Structure 1
Amino acid sequence: MSTALLVMDVQRAVVDLADDGSGYLPRLRRAIDGARAADIPVIHVVIALRPGFPEVGARNRALTAVARAGLHVEGDPGTEIHPEVAPLPGEVVVTKRRASAFSGSDLDVVLRARGIDSLVLAGIATSAVVLHTLCQANDLDFGLTVLGDACLDLDPEVHRFLTERLFPQWADVVTVDDWLDAVAR
């Protein structure tokens, strides 16, 4: 099996909104460094919408709220990947237009071109990009692991429910430390 670590929506504005002071970024950085050390590709996924939001339909409540708030506009400093987890030269950055890392992006093409059939998911928010990407990746028959403590949500209870009750139906849910131990073997 060929694996990639997806680091999703860890952008300046998202981190500013969601970081709860629990050491999220250093923990995520350990996962990224461990993946790199194990020659596991790290693929960064960002959400960026065009100025004027032509890809946002009126029936999409979440994206309509984002558009009204003027968030995630291409080129805005808030859409940049947080510097603590910035990509290295040559690492792929995928831009998406919806909640799932697959929607409106070329992620599937990148994964298939590299022969990747297993994904390790991390990112913000658990109830948005992680949930939607997990569902779609499951439907696409990828092997799946979620780094539960490398995901973060504005609602800790929703995060707990998803990582403890829902996600285990489709993926192995592990901690960063347990995953690093496994990849180091």
Structure 2
Amino acid sequence: MAGWKTAWRSFYYDGAPEAPDPVLVKGKVALLVIDVQNTYLARPQDRASLPPLEQAREAAWDGFHDRMHGTVIPTIARLMERFRAGAGPVLFARIACLTPDGGDRSLSQKKPGWNNLFLPHDSDASQIVPQLAPQPGEVVVTKTTDSALTGTNLRLLLGNMGITHVVCTGIFTDQCVSSTVRSLADESFDVIVVEDGCAAGTMDLHLRELEIINRIYCEVMRADDLLGYLPV
């Protein structure tokens, strides 16, 4: 179990002492699933019909989709089962706009390019993927920016629920996951990021971001490590 304590180290923490064991108290630790929504798992039915440049762009995402279906979604589902069995609450964050024209979106979601998102809150594209669907009574916050704390009442909810530790999973490691982790750390929550419960567009981006946020904003570990610390 000690491997995670010295893994994913950046320049700043090279040679620093091992991370301490987390003390996770039943009911005070929450699982947060970030932006695992239908829109990000959608793929064209007939890639061969796309123009060559679009085919190449779509092919570049193969690794992401393989990781999501083969590793990330199964890992999150396993953690959800454990939390729902009594370790603590499961919460969800998703990107969606509340106004018909998307005028409530943050600037980062209006800029041209891949991150230009228009996801009406009641659309199928904006919903959490069926494999990880929230159960009745589980909190789902809707955000119009990257961090799940910015522009939502998640900070208030976590405080009201007595949560001290937040386990973060979801996508994308280098965008909404990282933004949320930093916001949680700034609000003095203890944060754990599950390496095999997250993904970025590429593994290089994923691993690089983990190296950046590890130790200072969170502790990074794998699901098997975390399960050894969760209360029963």
Q: Is TM more than 0.5 here? A: yes
2:224 alignment counterpart: 177
Q: Could you report, residue by residue, the CA deviation over 1:23-52 in whole angstroms, capped at 9, with x for unpaired residues?
A: 121111111111112331000111111321
Flag the 1:43–1:79 CA change in 2: closer, same or farther, 3 A: same
- Trace 1:68-87 onto structure 2 (pairs within 5 A): 71-87=118-134
Q: Establish whether residue 123 from structure 1 lines up as the match of residue 170 from structure 2.
A: yes
- Trace 1:36-55 onto structure 2 (pairs within 5 A): 36-49=84-97, 50-55=99-104
Query: Structure 2: which 5+ residue stretches go unaligned?
Result: 1-24, 44-60
Q: Establish whether residue 21 from structure 1 lines up as the match of residue 66 from structure 2.
A: yes
User: Which has the larger Rg?
Assistant: 2
- Trace 1:55-66 onto structure 2 (pairs within 5 A): 55-56=104-105, 60-65=107-112
Structure 2 counterpart SS, 1:169: coil
Q: Establish whether residue 5 from structure 1 lines up as the match of residue 31 from structure 2.
A: yes
Equivalent residue pairs, number? 183
Q: Distance in 2 between matches of 1:67 and 1:11?
A: 16
Q: CA RMSD in A?
A: 2.2
Q: Distance in 1 between matches of 2:113 and 2:160?
A: 32
Percent of aligned pairs sharing the same letter:
29
Task: Report the residue type matching 2:159 in the other structure.
Answer: R
Flag the 1:91–1:61 CA change in 2: closer, same or farther, 3 A: closer
Query: Structure 1: which 5+ residue stretches go unaligned?
Result: none
Structure 1 counterpart SS, 2:141: strand
TM-score if structure 1 supplies the norm length?
0.89
TM-score if structure 2 supplies the norm length?
0.72
Task: Report the residue type matching 2:229 in the other structure.
Answer: A
Flag the 1:34–1:143 CA change in 2: closer, same or farther, 3 A: same
Q: Establish whether residue 99 from structure 1 lines up as the match of residue 125 from structure 2.
A: no
Q: Distance in 2 between matches of 1:148 and 1:67?
A: 24
Structure 2 counterpart SS, 1:148: strand
Q: Decide whether the 8 Å contact of 2:108 with 2:116 is kept in 1.
A: no
Q: Could you report, residue by residue, the CA deviation over 1:108-167 in whole angstroms, capped at 9, with x for unpaired residues?
A: 121111111211100111111111011111110001100011011112211111113433
Task: Report the residue type matching 2:180 in the other structure.
Answer: T
Flag the 1:104–1:61 CA change in 2: closer, same or farther, 3 A: closer
Structure 1 counterpart SS, 2:87: coil
Q: Distance in 1 between matches of 2:204 and 2:81?
A: 28
Please state how far the C-alpha of 1:70 moved relative to its aligned partner.
5.4
Q: Could you report, residue by residue, the CA deviation over 1:73-130 in whole angstroms, capped at 9, with x for unpaired residues?
A: 2211110110100111111111111100011111112111111121110011111111
